[in-house]
Every structure is written in structure tokens, then in C-alpha cells.
Amino acid sequence: METPVPTKLHSEPWMTAEQAAAHLGLPSRKALYQAVRRGQVPVHRFGKRLRFNRAELDRALLSAAS
């Protein structure tokens, strides 16, 4: 069962790992981290935290689809 994401988060440019995995349609954070290690998903580090830019994820989705 998917957890609904509040509407406000859809306008935020930065996402957490959980939000990014859901946005990309991945089954888990572990799958997201594997995609990051393979270089398929762009990531930014803010200290120890990983953050994902919504526009960059959308571009990665488009390039993967073509």
C-alpha cells in the first residue's frame, strides 16, 4: 500500500530518498541506492544526507525511456 505524498511536496525541488523512490516508481530505497551506485540516478549530498532534485530525476526518466 503506497503512502500518499502531500501536495506541497510536489512543488518542492528537493526530495528525500523515500520521495525520490516513489517518484521514480521504484519498489524501495534500496533499489534507489542501487540505481545511484550504477550512475542511473543523479544525487546530491548535503552533509550526510542524500537529496534528489525533481527536475534532474524527471530528465533521467526521460532519457531512460528513449
All three cell numbers of 33, joined, read: 541506492
Say which residues have a Cβ less than 8 Å from residue 27's Cβ, sequence separation at least 6: 21
9 lies in some domain: no
Residue 3 in any domain: the answer is no
User: Containing domain of residue 19, as a range?
Assistant: 15-65
Where does residue 36 rank: exposed (0-12), middle (13-18), buried (19+ CB within 10 A)?
middle
Q: The whole model's pTM is what? A: 0.77
The number of domains in the chain is 1
In a domain, 59, yes or no: yes
Report if residue 45 sits inside a domain. Answer: yes
Residue 20 lies in a domain: yes
**Is there a domain that residue 6 lies in?**
no
Domain-embedded: residue 40:
yes
Would you write out the chain's pLDDT as a tens digit for each of its 66 residues?
Answer: 555 555 454 568 999 999 999 999 999 999 999 999 999 999 999 999 999 999 999 999 888 887
